[in-house]
């Protein structure tokens, strides 16, 4: 259990059996009065926002959350499948829970799946992923007309801008947090 002095932005607590994360937090204490902990909480399943003012002495259940390492298997329509490497269980996340992460999912990629009780609700990718360039305009050395970056497509269908010397068929490292090119992968 948490108590009021544990409250801070980013803390995950359980209210009415649903997981919430504190997205905004303000401590107030007027004069000689009570401490007030004013929180904005976001439901981690459906995204709704709650405003709550807590007092000193209030206590909170920790959210029943667990992060498990899983491997990405495949996707079908709007459903993305992952396998727990320990017990071979499969879980599924829908498109809206995956969000932009879908741009970086390749076969067997190891990810962290966030589970609330037994329901998968979120995904965290490794910071860097190596993806193959599937579409890029060829680069002629010495060609200064292309400027300092060009658009390409990688194997997941994701499009981004990279330096002009990047060619089709090679692999590049992308920072999954920003979606930006980091470097060429040297084989």
Partner 1 sequence: MASRETNIRLRSRIIRYIRDFFYEHEYLEVETPCLIPAPAPEAHIDAIKVDGLFLHTSPELCMKRLLCSGHSRIFQICRCFRNDERGELHLPEFTILEWYHADINYSKLMNECQEMIQSVAHRLEKGETINYQGMEIDLKGPWQRISVKRAFEKYSTLSLQDALDSNRFDEVMVEQIEPRLRKTGPVFLYDYPAQLAALSRLKHNDPTLAERFELYIGGLELANAFSELTDPDEQARRFRKEIQDRECAGKTLYPLPEKFIRDLGNMPDAAGIALGVDRLVMLFTDTARIDDVVCFTPEEL
Instruction: Tell me which stretch binds partner 1 (CB under 8 A): 13-21, 33-41, 71-79, 143-151.
Output: 33-41
Decide whether 5 or 149 has the Cβ nearer to partner 1.
Answer: 5
1, 10, 31, 108: which one contacts partner 1 (CB under 8 A)?
Answer: 31
* Residues 86-145, interacting with partner 1 (CB under 8 A): none
From 71, 187, 70, 72, select the one nearest 132 (Cα to Cα). 187
Give 40-49's long-range contacts (Cβ < 8 A, gap of 24+): 41/13, 41/15, 43/18, 43/19, 44/12, 44/18, 44/19, 44/20, 44/114, 44/116, 44/121, 44/122, 45/18, 45/19, 45/116, 45/119, 45/121, 49/23
* Residues 47-86, interacting with partner 1 (CB under 8 A): 53, 56-57
Decide whether 4 or 153 has the Cβ nearer to partner 1.
Answer: 4
Contact call for residue 26 and partner 1 (CB under 8 A): yes
Decide whether 27 or 74 has the Cβ nearer to partner 1.
Answer: 27
Q: Which two tokens stand for residue 86?
A: 């320990």
Interface with partner 1 (CB under 8 A): 5, 26-36, 38, 53, 56-57
């Amino acid at each position: 259990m948490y108590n009021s002095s544990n409250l801070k932005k980013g803390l995950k607590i359980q209210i009415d059996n649903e997981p919430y994360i504190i997205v905004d937090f303000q401590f107030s204490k007027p004069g000689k009065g009570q401490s007030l902990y004013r929180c904005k909480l976001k439901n981690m399943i459906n995204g709704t926002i709650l405003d709550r003012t807590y007092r000193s002495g209030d206590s909170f259940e920790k959210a029943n959350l667990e992060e498990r390492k899983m491997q990405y298997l495949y996707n079908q329509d709007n459903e993305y499948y992952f396998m727990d490497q320990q017990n071979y269980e499969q879980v599924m996340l829908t498109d809206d829970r995956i969000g932009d992460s879908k741009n970086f999912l390749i076969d067997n990629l190891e990810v962290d799946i966030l589970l609330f009780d037994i329901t998968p609700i979120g995904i965290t990718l490794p910071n860097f992923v190596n993806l193959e360039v599937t579409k890029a305009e060829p680069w002629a050395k010495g060609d200064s007309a292309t400027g300092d970056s060009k658009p390409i497509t990688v194997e997941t269908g994701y499009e981004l801008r990279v330096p002009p010397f990047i060619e089709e068929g090679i692999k590049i490292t992308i920072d999954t947090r920003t979606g930006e090119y980091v470097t060429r992968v040297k084989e």
